[in-house]
Structure 1
Amino acid sequence: MEDLKKRKMEEMEEMGNNDQLSTQEELRSLLDPLAKSQLVDLLSRLGSQYPSIAEEIKSIASSDPVHRKLFVRGLAWNTTSETLCAAFRMHGEIEEGAVIYDKATGKSRGYGFVTYKHMESAHSALGAPSKLIDGRMAVCNLACEGLTGASTTPDLAQRKLYIGGLSPDVTSEMLLNYFGRHGEIEEGSVAYDKDTNESRGFGFVTYKTIEAAKKAIDDPQKILGGRTIIVKLADTHKGKPVQTQAPAAAVVPLAMPMAPGYPQLGKAHPSATPAGYAYTQPVAPYQASSYSSPAAAPAPYPSQSTIPYASIAAKKDPQGIPPTTPMGMSGYPYYIGK
């Protein structure tokens, strides 16, 4: 009797497991075609209603480095991996942290990565993204966001300032302290030469608010390091007129002086015989031995006169010299007597 009951219980459990498997497969088939946004919305609603689902979501997310790895940019050229980690250790235990160096030169590329052991530590660091490290204001954001994750708000152009005319003695820390009186700074530093690590005479400051940036621009006292400095929007500096190459002069086709009746370039002619080559009246052949008939004359020199050449040949010019050239050739005028 006991064996019979045991068998029935095992059969019921097996049926329950089969039902569960069929339900999971059915749910997967329903969820698979859904878009990511739909799945995120569904899970977020379920997580807010059922604490157990919320804990499972947090556990899975925390195990993925995408929520624990930070990208840190704006580092000084002399910042090391040790000083980078020291600046971020205040937010929690660091699993890994390193400054990225150029393989060819061995010099810092000005950025690095910090991976926390727990997701909550990364969120704490993101709450205060700007950090002064080795005299420069570094900025961090999630590595999965790359450069698009920080300082890309639509009003950035009105918050980022270009600072010019700086003394070589002005450091990034001095720059930040000077402009910090106008408001909270999100990012800023002096621009340094990568090879010499010397100041290039300018820098940038990005405020957290537009109002602070306006105060810095409108401040009449712009003296730092014993010099009068230039303060203006960074986009204005980038957008200053740039000398461009003068456009090549347009080539305008000019009509060449040609003998009347010569076909003009670029114009189509309705017939095979160019206009102007037909004579309105037959021309009497020239009798002089030095000149052949018009049929043998060069093509560009057709006659345009309706007066027989023989009647003209008998005429003399005012000086008594008879014409020696056929009518119509450029540069050889003939005279019809008075």
Structure 2
Amino acid sequence: MEDMKKRKLDDIEHGQTLPNLNDMVPVSTVEELRGLLDPLAKSQLVDLLARAGSHYPSIAEEIKSVASADPALRKLFVRGLAWNTTSETLCAAFQEHGEIEEGAVIYDKSTGKSRGYGFVTYKDMESAQRALKAPSKMIDGRMAVCNLASEGLTSTSATPDQAQRKLYIGGLSPETTSEILLSFFGRHGEIEEGSVAYDKETNKSRGFGFVTYKTVEAAKKAIDDPQKMLGGRNITVKLADNYKGKVAQPQLPAAVVPVPVHITAGYQQTGAGGPVGYTYPQPMATYPTASYTSPPTAAAPYLAQPQYSYPHYAIKKDTPPPQTALGGYPYYMPKQ
């Protein structure tokens, strides 16, 4: 009996034709098989089922049925769609991989305009797997990218080196389309995704775009390429991670606090004859920011002024009229 079991296992291992299952004597119960399979690693289980399914069509159909029962394994998330892409054009682009159960572009409820992404659900898992083998697809002039919807909004191809593979392309002419952009940069290597950035309201080019290569080497070639003329313009090519999208505002050092300076129109000099028609504008205060290497020490906002004491003067009732001996100015005697 043991020899028969061994021969049958050897036949499975070497791909030989096996007898019909109905002719074989059951050697183990379901519970016994579960006990044997439970401690095995996932890779071992996948290998066993794949070999069994390749020999027995009934097992293969069972595997397909179980795998396709979960919609999460058949539903794709598609991003990077053009604003004019409809649900019909989306499904038409993906139906080459298999029968589609449903597909739709997602629209903004308040504006009624496309949000630039959608979903495609196939009837079987095999079709979804075929679509994932070529995740980038040109739809309505834009390079769309898909991945399993269960994985969220990130691409399945996202890797730690993606920051070194994604490029920002600036200075594009309004006539440069996504097809022209991808064709121009495709000479450096295979492109994973990329497109010109378009305004959501007007659907016009915003003058820049992005290109993600499949390898870091291709991205470096594009950056180092001296030929950076496209559509009659000199374009900018750099890592997208260095593109901030806005100009950074200069900041003062933490210890420097700007003090508002109130500037008047001018100082009018007055004389005996009335105001003199000359004004003295005040200089505008400036605060340097780049010259500071370390925060200055805090100082008192105002310098302490020395205090002086003066003798008190009082006029006595019997005091004679003020004298005018000191340069013609009246004075009084100090109080005794």
TM-score normalized with structure 1 length: 0.62
1:205 is the counterpart of 2:211: yes
1:253 is the counterpart of 2:300: yes
| 2:116 paired residue number | 110
Matches within 5 A, 1:1-338: 42=41, 45-49=44-48, 51=52, 58-238=64-244, 242-247=248-253, 249-250=256-257, 252-253=299-300, 256-257=304-305, 324=334
Contact 2:314/2:335, CA 8 A, preserved across alignment: no
Matched residues in 2 for 1:153 and 1:116: separation? 26
- 1:115 shift after superposition: 0.3
Higher helix share: 1
| 1:331 paired residue number | none
Cα deviations by residue, 1:13-66 (Å, 9 ceiling, x for unpaired): xxxxxxx99x79xx9xx9xxxxxxxx8965653453354788756532310011
Matched residues in 2 for 1:56 and 1:207: separation? 39
Contact 2:314/2:334, CA 8 A, preserved across alignment: no
Number of residue pairs the alignment of both structures matches? 244
User: SS where residue 148 of structure 1 aligns?
Assistant: coil
| 1:295 paired residue number | none
Matched residues in 2 for 1:247 and 1:108: separation? 44
User: SS where residue 238 of structure 1 aligns?
Assistant: coil
Counterpart residue type for residue 73 of structure 1: R
User: SS where residue 102 of structure 2 aligns?
Assistant: strand
- State the identity as a percent: 69
User: SS where residue 87 of structure 1 aligns?
Assistant: helix
| 1:35 paired residue number | none
- 1:259 shift after superposition: 5.5
Greater Rg by CA: 1
Contact 1:72/1:138, CA 8 A, preserved across alignment: yes
Q: CA RMSD in A?
A: 3.8
TM-score normalized with structure 2 length: 0.62
Contact 2:83/2:115, CA 8 A, preserved across alignment: yes
Matched residues in 2 for 1:107 and 1:91: separation? 28
Cα deviations by residue, 1:275-299 (Å, 9 ceiling, x for unpaired): xxxxxxxxxxx9x999xxxxxxxxx
Matched residues in 2 for 1:170 and 1:252: separation? 58
Contact 1:47/1:54, CA 8 A, preserved across alignment: no
Between 250-259 and 168-177, report the one with greater CA deviation.
250-259
Higher strand share: 2
User: Per the alignment, do residues 41 and 241 of structure 1 end up closer, same or farther by CA in structure 2, a change over 3 Å counting?
Assistant: farther
Matched residues in 1 for 2:172 and 2:335: separation? 83
Contact 1:187/1:205, CA 8 A, preserved across alignment: yes
